[in-house]
Amino acid sequence: MTQAVLILIKPDGLKKSLTGNILTRLSETKLEIVAAKMVRVSQALAEEHYKQLKDKPFFPELIGYIRGELHDRKKVMALVYWGKDAIKKCRELAGATNPEEAESTSIRGSYGRITTSGVYENVIHVSSNESEAEREIKLWFQPEEIIVNLFSVKSEIEKECKKVTWA
Ligand code: UDP
Ligand code: MG
């Protein structure tokens, strides 16, 4: 089954200079990267991304974590991987959510940690199923930023919309 999956290299992954390692590990999947960018994560984007967890006690700290407030790195790297069984392959490489329970050779097992306040700093986000992947990819990317047609699109004319371009 051909699938798309959203991957985020979280602020701890960036701060620990793990971008290259993580991308190398993900290349073992032989999946195709169809979108990639650096993103400064707004409060609204962070809350929408993790909306299923909004009632958890760790939610405020999780939002601070993904926004880079714990690591002085106010950005994440967002990518879309695409190909056969993309979600299962990437989740397997990432390892369990809790880095102490993750297999020690997995990405989270190798590089994750639990903070003294209990948040799992696990260096990478991977969508957990197809409907979450679609919701998350549409949240983080616009259609023109993805080099394949993943989901249906609509066209509309924007009126008097200010746009910044190169001078
Ligand atoms: N998280 C946490 N403590 C928990 C569960 C989750 O700190 O008990 C954090 C962790 O960073 C995790 C994120 O919240 O990656 C999203 O949680 P989810 O259950 O969706 O796990 P994931 O899909 O990332 O494996
Ligand atoms: Mg999840």
The CATH number assigned to the domain holding 131 equals: 3.30.70.141
According to the model, what pLDDT value does residue 158 have?
A: 85
Domain count, the chain: 1
Question: Which domain range does residue 101 map to?
Answer: 2-145
- Distance of alpha carbon 115 from alpha carbon 121, whole angstroms: 7
Tell me the three-class secondary structure of 66-119, residue by residue. HCCCCCCCCCEEEEEEEEECHHHHHHHHHCCCCCCCCCCCCHHHHHCEECCCCC
Q: Say if ligand 1 is within 6 A of residue 122 CB.
A: yes
In a domain, 78, yes or no: yes
In a domain, 161, yes or no: no
Q: Which two tokens stand for residue 59?
A: 């939610």
Q: Give the number of the ligand closest to the Cα of residue 65.
A: 1
According to the model, what pLDDT value does residue 13 have?
A: 98
In a domain, 154, yes or no: no
In a domain, 62, yes or no: yes
- Distance of alpha carbon 116 from alpha carbon 112, whole angstroms: 13
The answer to whether the beta carbons of residues 50 and 117 sit under 8 Å apart is no
pTM over 0.85: yes
Q: Say if ligand 1 is within 6 A of residue 59 CB.
A: no
In a domain, 45, yes or no: yes
Where the chain has pLDDT below 70, the residues are: none
In a domain, 152, yes or no: no
7, 97, 129, best to mutate for ligand 1 pocket (most atoms within 8 Å of CB): 97
Decide: helix, strand or coil at residue 139. helix
Q: Residues 6 or more apart from 66 whose CB is under 8 A from it?
A: 8, 10, 11, 41, 46, 49, 50, 76, 125
The answer to whether the beta carbons of residues 87 and 130 sit under 8 Å apart is yes
According to the model, what pLDDT value does residue 117 have?
A: 86
According to the model, what pLDDT value does residue 128 have?
A: 98
In a domain, 153, yes or no: no
Calculated CA dihedral for residues 104, 110, 112, 116, nearest 10 degrees: 70
- Distance of alpha carbon 84 from alpha carbon 100, whole angstroms: 29
In a domain, 123, yes or no: yes
CA 139 to ligand 1 center in whole angstroms: 18
- Sign (positive or negative) of CA dihedral 96, 102, 108, 113: positive
Q: Say if ligand 1 is within 6 A of residue 119 CB.
A: yes
